Amino acid sequence: MSAPMIVGLAIVLWVVGIPIALGFFTKGQWKGASGDDLLGGIFWPLYLLILFALMALWGLWNTGVWIVKGLFRLGGWLNHFLLGSPK
């Protein structure tokens, strides 16, 4: 079995397995699972995808901020090292 096939199988099992597990733990009662309507239950993978995308964007933003802060401090250190302390 190739790696992409294994990844695809894992995704299919995840998409199919989560609703089965939720149905098992809520004893098959849809009202007990969530207050959403039927469409909310059908589109839950889309909700998760949007959530993961937002988390990735937030992570990229924080990484960018850390890089800019680091470069800013490096510039200040270089200024201090090359030109000496301000008088």
**One pLDDT digit (tens) per residue for the chain, 87 residues:** 788 888 888 887 777 777 777 666 666 666 655 555 555 666 777 777 788 888 889 989 999 889 989 888 888 888 888 888 766
32 & 52 share domain: no
What pLDDT shows up at residue 83? Answer: 84
- Cα distance between residue 72 and residue 67, in whole Å: 8
50 & 87 share domain: yes
What pLDDT shows up at residue 38? Answer: 54
55 & 17 share domain: no
- Cα distance between residue 27 and residue 11, in whole Å: 24
Q: Which domain holds residue 3?
A: 1-36
CB 26 within 8 A of CB 32: yes
The packing angle between helices 3-25 and 44-83, to 10°, is 120
| Count of structural domains, the chain | 2
56 & 27 share domain: no
25 & 48 share domain: no
27 & 57 share domain: no
Backbone region of residue 84 per phi and psi (left: phi > 0; alpha: psi in -120 to 50; beta: other values): left
86 & 48 share domain: yes
16 & 54 share domain: no
